[in-house]
Structure 1
């Protein structure tokens, strides 16, 4: 386990999956990251790469070739190497290997950097194409935050406020995790009250919102947690029904649509990276000091 900290926050990250395991508010002692209680969900904040969600038949297609690839990809279950560290930053690296090429036929390096600035944590992703051909990929974040923040509150005391007052249209997925064409309006003012029932049909997935940040807020105090994701066009919000956490998931990519197999190069949300080039994207978690 590796730690970084400043006056406001103490953050822990493990090599396995380069996964964030703790985000502690030093001002009030509140642990904001879900502590992976397996009763509900045994992860903290998995990183999704090189796909987001499920592909049909749990495989990706490149022309006549197919490669097995499980939901959310292999990065979250891979051992990363810590390649750089300062008192306020950690950088991890995962490089392609014979093992990864059985599932994803590209030569790459995937870097994840965590860094602190006052009460803000940045998570920066970098994909480096080390081959002489175009690399296609998706990536995403899946951090789970404790809700409620405090023991004397309930899940229902909280709500999510989007940066902009806008219509929020949810794109639904079926029981297998694939889009099935269903859509419905979740909110007309950019605010969503958190209730266990909200997630009884899986995640809230948004493809066409204008907001570039959302904030978890309490109706009983001024504490709040803001997630900014200007580089990510898709957003998922999820928890298991009745669980005391909420996942805020910025994505570059999304699951397949039911019954519509496609070549991976044409899959919705997939990015194309030219030979010997790199791509980066960042998200931020900002925690109030109240």
Structure 2
């Protein structure tokens, strides 16, 4: 476990998966992250690379060969990630290709994830380097789970998500049996920017958005106002998810998406896939800002 602290926030990151596992007030220890109760969902904030969500049959093809990858890729739960650099206000972790990873993902890469603590904000920066002689293809994203409700005198239905802009957006429905994106959509926003939270909202898995204009979303309490804001300027897909029995909500910035039911399983044609040329570096960051009123 690695920690950072300033006069407002304390954060902790697990070595396994380089997973953010605590965001709390330095002054009074109010917790903002889900506690990863294994009886509900035993994760805090998995890092997603080199895919987002599920592949059809857990597999894809590249240059005529077939490969297998687990849901969300191989960074989460990975024990080979190393602390690469630590400063007074940042932690950077690194995962490099190895023989085992090349069997499931045929690209030589370096994956870095950095957590930087700036006042009341945590920035999460993903850096991917292509160390190969060919173009590499990947997706990358976050899966942070925030405690909901935060305070003892509240319940889940007291909370909502407020988006930056008024939206007219549909969710892309997930096929429950496979985890793949179906051909069906359902309107969520009709000239609105508020999504009221309730456990039944997630009876059909995540809310997956492809066409939001907002690049910020705030978790708000009826009783305590804005709790936190996630800003995701570098990401063009967003997932909102929780287990229906879980007292948390995941706000998930994605560059990429799960396979669709009619995918041809070719990696280079996968929706949302990023192509990175030889010797090039890709960066994408999102920020979690805790409202100052909950830190004083």
TM-score normalized by the length of structure 1: 0.98
* 1:33 CA drift (Å): 0.8
The answer on whether the counterparts of 1:36 and 1:42 sit within 8 Å (CA) in structure 2 is yes
Q: Secondary structure at the match of 2:18?
A: coil
In 1, the alpha carbon distance for the partners of 2:122 and 2:160 equals 22
The answer on whether the counterparts of 1:172 and 1:204 sit within 8 Å (CA) in structure 2 is yes
Deviates most, 68-77 or 216-225: 216-225
* 1:27 CA drift (Å): 4.1
Do the aligned partners of residues 265 and 287 (structure 1) sit closer, same or farther apart at CA in structure 2, a change above 3 Å counting?
A: same
* 1:168 CA drift (Å): 2.6
Do the aligned partners of residues 119 and 17 (structure 1) sit closer, same or farther apart at CA in structure 2, a change above 3 Å counting?
A: same
Give the aligned partner of residue 17 of structure 2.
17
Give the aligned partner of residue 161 of structure 2.
160
Deviates most, 174-183 or 154-163: 174-183
The answer on whether the counterparts of 2:124 and 2:285 sit within 8 Å (CA) in structure 1 is yes
Taking only aligned residues, the RMSD between alpha carbons, in angstroms, comes to 0.9
Give the aligned partner of residue 242 of structure 1.
245
Give the aligned partner of residue 115 of structure 1.
116
Matched, 1:180 2:182: yes
The answer on whether the counterparts of 1:168 and 1:190 sit within 8 Å (CA) in structure 2 is no
In 2, the alpha carbon distance for the partners of 1:168 and 1:214 equals 14
The answer on whether the counterparts of 1:55 and 1:255 sit within 8 Å (CA) in structure 2 is yes
* 1:187 CA drift (Å): 2.1
Q: Secondary structure at the match of 1:40?
A: coil
Matched, 1:192 2:195: yes
Q: 1:210 aligns with which of 210, 213, 220?
A: 213
* 1:132 CA drift (Å): 1.2
TM-score normalized by the length of structure 2: 0.96
The answer on whether the counterparts of 2:218 and 2:226 sit within 8 Å (CA) in structure 1 is no
Give the aligned partner of residue 82 of structure 1.
83
Summarize deviations over 1:194-230 as a string: whole Å, max 9, x none: 0111111110000011000100000111241100000
In 2, the alpha carbon distance for the partners of 1:97 and 1:223 equals 43
* 1:83 CA drift (Å): 1.0
Q: Secondary structure at the match of 1:30?
A: coil
Unaligned 5+ residue runs, structure 2? none
1:1-290, aligned counterparts within 5 Å? 1-79=1-79, 80-175=81-176, 176-188=178-190, 189-290=192-293
Q: Secondary structure at the match of 2:205?
A: coil
* 1:63 CA drift (Å): 3.0
In 2, the alpha carbon distance for the partners of 1:90 and 1:178 equals 34
In 1, the alpha carbon distance for the partners of 2:124 and 2:28 equals 23
Q: Secondary structure at the match of 2:157?
A: helix
Q: Secondary structure at the match of 1:29?
A: coil
